[in-house]
């Protein structure tokens, strides 16, 4: 996928979560992270090419940004445990 990232795992996760929730417009979106720790959000219909180990979560309209931030935080912790956080 050749989209512009909405942030990085080393950045402000609350701000990224807010962007995710603001970007949901009556659809389902998938948040994923590439190998460089860039965070992306795409319509779930476009998620077929995303590797499972890159998926943060799938979100719908009305999601609480705190829940998205928690998922991003857990993903960041897991990456740090694996020693692959940039």
In a domain, 1, yes or no: no
In a domain, 57, yes or no: yes
In a domain, 85, yes or no: no
In a domain, 24, yes or no: yes
Question: How far is Cα 21 from Cα 59, in angstroms, rounded to an integer?
Answer: 8
In a domain, 54, yes or no: yes
Angle, alpha carbons 34-40-44 (nearest 5°): 110
Per-residue pLDDT of the chain in tens (86 residues, 90 and over written 9)? 457 899 999 999 999 999 999 888 788 999 999 989 999 999 888 778 888 889 999 999 999 999 999 999 999 999 888 876 55
What is the residue range of 68's domain? Answer: 7-79
Number of domains in the chain: 1
Q: Residue 41: which of 53, 52, 29 has the closest Cα? A: 29
């Amino acid at each position: 996928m050749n989209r512009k990232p909405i942030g990085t795992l080393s950045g402000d996760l609350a701000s990224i979560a807010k962007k995710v929730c603001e970007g949901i417009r009556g659809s389902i979106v998938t948040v994923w992270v590439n190998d460089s720790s860039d965070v992306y959000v795409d319509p779930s219909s476009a998620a077929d090419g995303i590797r499972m180990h890159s998926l943060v979560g799938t979100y719908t309209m009305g999601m609480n940004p705190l829940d998205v931030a928690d998922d991003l935080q857990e993903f960041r912790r897991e990456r740090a445990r694996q020693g692959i956080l940039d």
